[in-house]
Amino acid sequence: MNDNSTPSIATEAVLVASEAMPSNAEVVKGYDFNNGINYHSLMQSFRQTGFQATNFGLAIEEVNRMLELKSTPVSDKDKERINLDAAGSRPISNCSIFLGYTSNLISAGVRESIRYVVEHNLVDCIVTTAGGIEEDFIKCLADTYIGDFRLSGRELRDKGINRIGNLLAPNDNYCKFETWIMPILDQLLEEQNTHNINWTPSKVIARLGKEINNRDSVYYWAYKNNIPVFSPALTDGSIGDMIYFHSYRKPGLRIDLVEDIRRMNSQAVFALNTGMLILGGGLVKHHICNANLMRNGADYSVFMNTANEFDGSDSGARPDEAISWGKIKKAANPVKVYGEASILFPLLVAETFAPFAERTKTGN
């Protein structure tokens, strides 16, 4: 044995021959700032960057596919199909886009990106939590402020200031909300009793959007554009607190979940094609996915959240799990981006909804 020769076991292990890469294999290549500062080109480069940047690039492509199909004229035959939303007379499109988001995104400045999408009538159905409803209206009445994750909860409680992550919401904001909403709840009860109106969460949200009459509000624009907003846990927040207090002042208001689940599922069942864009997890993710189960799955899907699947939660479940339930079609190419939506969603809007709205406005 020659002591100067490399052991064959080592060379065989390290110098394994590679098979040729497929002819359509994509090469990893990031953005070159020598080409100048071009944010559109930067975000387009994410598709070839790798890791979550690549997933974000795939999400851009998936949302743009939804919008492209949505812009395609509906055939005369399909126009005769059942109206998806008789309560709001919203016409059918070639791709009904479901947008879901958790309440913290409305508390944050992501609200303005969401409002833009709704203002320009670019989605067809919204699902959020109670906080995702009330925080929008509260921001029309009072401001939320930037704070710090590390502020003392004990000290803030003594000052009457509530912390939402690194945001601060003075408790007076919720007192102003009570002053605003209580007379509206009185009206809902009176109309229920005198006009036999069957209130549902979506009808209540539409009414509140009408009453706020503020162009900064997401739900003002949802009301104006006849976009139904579903919140099956409407009582799980400050709105629930107000309904609780109202039940002592003027008992009797009823809010029907059964009518709303039929209306929600109908958005998917009678759609020509569907796309899901879900920011965060929990109730909003499952409610949209479950509606799409009723049509054997969505055609397009983007999940954007920070949750992982190791605990078996629906929030962390990858799209492939949804395929196993029939919530996403087997032939679909769904995308999950592991990331925080306060950064990612405005960038997604910049590469999808915003240019689409501009092209629609100019007729291009």
Give catalytic residue positions: 327
Dihedral angle at the C-alpha atoms of 207, 208, 210, 212, nearest 10 degrees? 160
Rounded to whole angstroms, how far apart are CA atoms 283 and 264?
A: 14
The count of other CB atoms within 10 Å of the CB of residue 34 is: 5
Coil, helix or strand at residue 60: helix
Main-chain phi, psi angles of 198, to 5 degrees: -95, 100
Q: Which of 226, 223, 266, 218 is nearest to 90 (CA)?
A: 226
Report how far Cα 50 is from the mean position of its chain's Cα atoms: 24
3-state DSSP: the chain helix, strand, coil percent, rounded to 5?
A: 50, 10, 40
Main-chain phi, psi angles of 127, to 5 degrees: -130, 130
Q: Are 47 and 58 in contact (CB under 8 A)?
A: yes
CB contact set of 5 (below 8 Å; sequence gap of 6+): none
Parallel, antiparallel, or unpaired: how do β-strands 161-164 and 167-170 relate?
A: antiparallel
